[in-house]
């Protein structure tokens, strides 16, 4: 299947990225199977970095082969396990370290607000999960280890806006 990474640069050789921000699934290289989501990520990165370029890097990912060869944590919905996992990672506990790849819903702005309210104790777990069930959730695929990253094969890139070549 094709997976996408939105940025303001072409990423032909993905690397495990140590972010200064605490992210849903921990450190690594983030992608998605949803092109629309990746385009939004490219727009956010371009705005955050104050660049005019928006790039969609496209990769091939054979998930069935990866499942046979790697340790993968896959969440099929924003359930209690997912909520606990991303909350721990966002608190800096880095519980994704035992996995090569983590796959599951991405916390967009609406979902992020629910998670933040849960983290700060404003919402309890039941209310948080109830709110998450009504959200349209896109996915994210985190390549957390070099071994996992070998399953993310660059195919091509698309220029979404600004300058660059395809």
Q: Which positions ≥6 away from 153 have C-beta within 8 Å?
A: 59, 60, 61
Instruction: Give the range of the structural domain holding residue 129, as residue numbers without chain letter.
Output: 2-161
Q: Is residue 166 situated within a structural domain?
A: no
Q: Is residue 12 situated within a structural domain?
A: yes
Provide the domain count of the chain.
1
Can you tell me the distance from the alpha carbon of 62 to that of 81, in angstroms, rounded to the nearest whole number?
Answer: 25
Q: Is 128 exposed, middle or buried (0-12, 13-18, 19+ CB in 10 A)?
A: buried
pLDDT in tens, 51-110: 989 999 999 999 999 999 999 999 988 888 888 888 888 777 766 568 999 999 886 666
Tokens standing for residue 98: 């035992």
pTM confidence score: 0.83
Over 50: is that where the pLDDT of 165 sits? Answer: no
Can you tell me the distance from the alpha carbon of 23 to that of 86, in angstroms, rounded to the nearest whole number?
Answer: 8
pLDDT in tens, 1-28: 999 999 999 999 999 877 666 677 888 8
């Amino acid at each position: 299947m094709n997976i996408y990474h939105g940025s303001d640069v072409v990423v032909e050789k993905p690397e495990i990225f140590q972010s200064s921000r605490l992210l849903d699934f921990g450190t690594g290289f983030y992608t998605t199977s949803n092109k629309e989501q990746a385009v939004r990520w490219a727009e956010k990165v371009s705005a955050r970095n104050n660049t005019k370029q928006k790039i969609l890097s496209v990769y091939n990912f054979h998930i069935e082969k990866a499942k046979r060869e790697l340790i993968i944590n896959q969440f099929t919905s924003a359930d209690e396990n997912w909520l606990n996992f991303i909350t721990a990672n966002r608190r800096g506990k880095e519980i994704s370290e035992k996995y090569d790849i983590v796959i599951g819903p991405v916390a967009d702005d609406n979902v992020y607000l629910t998670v933040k309210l849960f983290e700060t104790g404003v919402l309890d777990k039941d209310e948080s999960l109830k709110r998450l069930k009504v959200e349209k959730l896109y996915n994210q695929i985190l390549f957390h280890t070099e071994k996992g990253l070998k399953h993310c094969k660059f195919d091509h890139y698309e220029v979404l806006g600004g300058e660059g070549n395809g």
